[in-house]
Every structure is written in structure tokens, then in C-alpha cells.
Structure 1
Amino acid sequence: MLIRLHAMLCIVLIVAACPALAGTLTFPTAGSMPVLSFPASVSVGRDRAPGSVLSVASGNAGLATSGANCTVTKDVTVNGTLVPGYTNVYQTGVPGIGVHFYITAYFNDTWTDVPTSQSFNVPDGKTPHYTRADLVVTGPVGSGTTSNLPSMFIKFSGSCIETVTATQTLTGSTSVTGNSCSVTTPTLAFDLPRAFSKNLPSVGATTGDTTLSLGLNCPAGVKVGLTLTDAVNPANRSSTLSLAPGSSAAGVGLQIVNGETPLSFGPDSAVAGTVNQWIAGTSTGGAMQVPLTARYVRTSTTLVPGSVNGKATFTMSYQ
């Protein structure tokens, strides 16, 4: 007997389709990023404090979401060259001038530094979402025109949305002038009158006030800072100038006074905020006079007659 066996092979194909993206995210909502630009020209003191903001440009890119029920990540980076020593300020082509970018944090009005990365859940609807760029001082300011400005790149991604990217650029250029003054009286030689012990009866007593003026020529608006340095003892931070070699007197020193205030000595530095730097005034443009008075001051209960000589240098800071 012939027995025939029939075998049946059933192949079942199960196709797992990828789930459709559940939501949408639109950025920017107007179809293009805000136009951000700085003024055509900026004039700033050469030694303005690093971190000073010269101009702010900001705009609303807008953000819209619908049905995005997953965690969304926002990555923001910068296409540019960092200023040495900074982690978020980028070069502009002008010495001492940089750009610092910001973007709205999450869905509130708080600015956050760029670069940044944030993950969050997005509510449905439209909301403002701002971008911002600051023109900032990073060091001694030179003169020139900004070029090859940095740009900010924004990317939204998540499992429930198509990845969305946009680039915030800066338009135009800015001519930067780093202002400084010329010193028209580079040396002041005070010839103090003879003083007697009766003129200096106790420690702290002063006599022999002699006034000369330091002459400058400055552009309008420059805030002039000045630091005096003890040439004999540069580490001196008191208001009494050390006696120079060749002085034979003892128990007496010298003071340099602006108005009624004896000036304390500091380091030879033009950086804004240097120890014992003081502001002589803000120029209205043209000639500027800074009066300084030199005088004797008694420093000890024991007073030895003799010659008194001192030497100080001054460093100008144009802010």
C-alpha cells in the first residue's frame, strides 16, 4: 500500500510597522529667525571692565507644539571661536570685543547661557521663545570692524517629533573704537617748601602742600582712572610714599592728595578696578586737568631733619 504524506508549511509574516510620530514642534513659528544686529558703530574706553555689555540684540522666534507627549531635548551650540579664557564668549575680529549668546530657558522668561542642553516636556500651544546676543568687553579694547561673527545653532529632538533645527545669525557689522587719552604732562616734579619740626607737631600731621595738574587730552565720554605706584616699594598699598634713596630725613614721608583725600598706592596696571585705582573724572572732550597735591606727613614720634625725596609713577585707565 502506498501512503502519501502531505505536509503543509504555513509561513506567517508579521510586519511590525514603526509607530507614527505623535506630535509636532515648530520653531521658529514665523518661518525665519529674528533679525539680530548690533549698532553700526560703538565707542568704548580702551580699559572698560571685562564683562561690560555694550549692546544687546534680542528677538522672539516663537515655539508651537501639538501632541508632543514625550521628553523633548533642546541642544544649543555656537559656531564660532571662543575668546581665550572664556567658555561662552566668542571672538568678533576686534580685540577685546566678543559675543555672548542666550536663549529662553525651557518655557519661561529666564535667560540661559549658550552653549546649553535641556530636556523637558512641552505643553500644547504657542509660546514666545527668545534668542539674544550681547556685545561684550573681554579685555583691552582695540579698534576695528567686527567680522566672521559667530552664530547660534538650535536643535529640538524627541521620540514623538521630527527633529527641528534653526540657526540664529547676526547681521551687519559694527565699527568699534577703543578710546584712550594722550597725556600732555607726562612728568610732575613737586618742589616742596622747607618744613620745620614745629610744622609737624605729631604723627599724622601734614605740611608743605604743593599742587600741580596732570594734563590729558581725551575723547568725550571717557572715564579716566588713575593708579599711583610707589617706585621705591611697588608693593606699598598705604597712602604714604616711601622715601627714595639719598633722603637723609627720618620720621617723615610724603603724601599725594586729590582734593582732600590722600591717595593710596597700587600696582602698575590699567585694568579697571585695580587695587587703589581711583576715578579722576569723565572727559567732556578735549583738554582735561587732574590736580594733585604733594605734602609732607609725619610718620614717627622721632623726627630726624634732612632731605626728603620720593618717586611715584602713575598709570592711566581709560574706561
Structure 2
Amino acid sequence: MSPPSTIAFDPGVPDGTVLWSGNLQTNYRSSNASTGGYVCPSSAFNIHFEGTTPYLGNNLYTTGIPGISYRFKMTGPTTGPIIYPSCFLQKYFPHICWINELGAGMTNHTLSVELIKTGSITGGGALSGVFAHWFVQLGRSYATYSWGGSVVIQPTIPTCKVSMPSIAVRLRDVNVNVFTGVGKTSPSQPFDIVLQCSGGNTGTSTDVYTTLTDQTDPSNVSDTLSLTKDSTASGVGIQVLNGTTVIKYGPDSSAAGNKNQWKAGSTGNGTFTIPLTARYIQTTPSVKAGTANGRATFTMNYQ
């Protein structure tokens, strides 16, 4: 199968819409064994026509891309006679034909391939390898259909930028007597990371992931932010929370799957707000009063 290297579409169309279709022309040399063709011995057996990916029902097979499925149909020969055409022509996969005599071979024919929208599409992907086959005995393919290389499937999804790249969080003065033991915390103070997202087709969304990095100690992967070197207090650190979850720090990287990267949510076009809170936490048995500042960066990843 040799479609365009990239298949782009509007993912906001209704479920059941054909996003792309194409015809695959087979390339059998002939049905004559003496000229190097493909021949089956005379026999009686079932030929199964199926996709090689999980079957979803209703003649649909998964592509591995959420919201997009395959549909296949053999539409006819391009040259020469075809054996038992009424058995499998114009039939969607999966299909079974009972063959009680096949002493020649299969001539060139056409397979129609369709990509169907079957649900919410939140991202793209790629198609590659074998996607359908015939078999007589499971595990032994008589014919296979495959993509000619990797085909990129790309809906237009939103991209985002940070509204305010620098955010100052005031933790306010805290009496040292609040810290009566390791793990004791001060009242939390709220702040937000705000994104402006645009450019996506109707109905698309992007998953927003975030990594916080300790700028005083970039190797820190705990859930407590170090105090800056100019801080005069000791015995405390700073925690940032997303809801009730204390966020751990990780390397300053936007790579997907970065250590301690966390999912902030999903968004379409428009404003997306990530609500957070910050607080002090006691880290040693004794606390010394003074200034207690921390500095972290946040790095976004969109999927």
C-alpha cells in the first residue's frame, strides 16, 4: 500500500466518516506455476480474509490510533479471470470462503482500504507493517497486505504557550512555632500556571504534561524543593501540590516520559489553567528562623 507519506484530516467530523481511502493493487506475477506464478493445489478448504490487528466488530479493525479504525474490502480483479468471484468480491473483511477446488491461482485484484473515525481523536500516530491477510490454516498466510513504509496520521491538534512564564508565589510569614516536628507543614498558598492553546480542529485536544525542576539542586527528585543559597532559615523546604498530590521534582526536560513528569490534564483551544498550591514543610528536628526562598522551573510537554 503506497498512500501519501502523511494523511491529514479534520478530526472533528462525525463518527463513521471515512477519513481517507485508497486502493491497493496486488502484484502477482501470474497464476501459472511454469512462469513463476502462485498456485494452490486442488483441494477443499476455507479461505479466511481478515485484518491482522484486533477486530472491533462491524467490519472494523484497530489501527492503534485512538478514534481511527480500518475497514477492508476486495473490490475486483485488474487482469484475467478470478476464481469464485461471487464468494469474496465486494465483501468486507472478515470473511470466509469455502473453496472446493482451486487448482490454478489468484490473479491480480484490488483491495479497498478505508480509515474510519470511530471515536474521539486526541492525537496522531503512524501506520506500518502488515495490516491484513488471507489464511487457510491459522498462522499460515496465503497472501498479506502491508504499508509501503511508515505512514503518518496527523490530525490538527492544539498547541499551547504559557501566559506568564515567571510566577512569584508569596508563602507569607510563618511563625517558627508552627513546626513542631519533621513533616509539619504551613498553610498552603494557591497559584496557577495558565496556558493559551490554539490551532486545533474542532473536537481535538492535547494532553498537557509538566515537570518541575529544583533550580538550586537540579538532581533533586524528591517532593521537597531546596531552599536557595541566600536563604537564612534552615530545617524547612517547600512543597508544591496539584490538588492533594505532592509533586516530585525531575530533570529539566520536555521529553515525553521524563522522570517525575505528571499529567496536568487535557485541553482544546482556549485557556487552560493548572491550579497549584505551595507550602513549607519541616525537614529536620529543629528549625531556624529566617528567610526561606525556593526557585523551580516548570517545563511543558504536549502529547
Q: Give me the TM-score of the superposition, normalised by structure 2.
A: 0.56
List per-residue Cα deviations over 1:40-83 (Å, max 9, x = no partner): xxxxxxxxxxx973645453568989358xxxxxxxxxxxxxxx
- Specify every segment of 5 or more residues in structure 1 that has no aligned partner in the other structure, as ranges: 1-18, 27-50, 69-95, 112-119, 134-149, 153-169
Residue among 140, 145, 151 paired with 1:131: 145
Q: What residue number does 1:188 align with?
A: 167
Structure 2: gaps of 5 or more residues: 1-32, 41-62, 75-87, 89-96, 105-123, 199-203
8 Å Cα contact 1:22-1:67 kept in structure 2: no
Task: Say whether 1:279 aligns with 2:263.
Answer: yes
**Taking structure 1 as reference, are residues 52 and 205 closer, same or farther at Cα in structure 2, changes over 3 Å only?**
farther
Letter in 2 for 1:107: F
- Which residue, 259, 262, 277 being the options, matches 1:293? 277
Answer whether contact 1:251 1:298 (CA < 8 A) is retained. Answer: yes
Question: Which residue of structure 2 lines up, in the alignment, with residue 66 of structure 1?
Answer: 102
Alpha carbon RMSD of aligned pairs, Å?
3.8
Deviation digits for residues 270-307 of structure 1 (CA, Å, limit 9, x no counterpart): 23322211111111431121111111000000211111
Alignment-mate amino acid for residue 131 of structure 1: Y
Give the superposition deviation at 1:231: 1.1
Shift of 1:108: 6.9
Cα pair 2:179 2:287 within 8 Å, conserved = no
The 8 Å contact of residues 125 and 153 in structure 2, kept in 1 or not, is answered as no
| Equivalence for 2:286 | 302
Query: How far off is 1:188 after superposition?
Result: 1.2
Greater Cα offset, 301-310 or 269-278: 269-278
Aligned residue runs from structure 1 range 85-234, under 5 A: 98-104=126-132, 107=135, 129=143, 131=145, 133=147, 150=148, 176-177=155-156, 179-219=158-198, 221-234=205-218
**What is the distance in 1 between the residues matched to 2:165 and 2:242?**
17
1:25 pairs with 2:21: no
* Shift, 1:237, TM fit: 0.9
AA in 1 matched with 2:65: V
Residues 127 and 153 of structure 2 are in contact (CA less than 8 Å); yes or no, is this contact kept in structure 1?
A: no
Identity of aligned residues (%): 33
Residue pair 1:213, 1:289 contacting (<8 A) in 2 also: yes
Letter in 1 for 2:102: S
Amino acid in structure 1 at the alignment position of 2:250: G
8 A Cα contact 1:23 1:67, kept in partner: no
**Count of residue pairs brought into register by the alignment:** 202
Could you say which residue in structure 2 is the equivalent of 1:76? none
Name the structure 2 match of 1:315.
299
In the superposition, relative to structure 1, how do residues 177 and 103 fare at CA in structure 2: closer, same or farther (>3 Å)? closer
C-alpha contact (below 8 Å) 1:243/1:253 kept by paired residues: yes
Q: What letter is aligned with 1:207?
A: S
Give 1:24 shift. 4.7
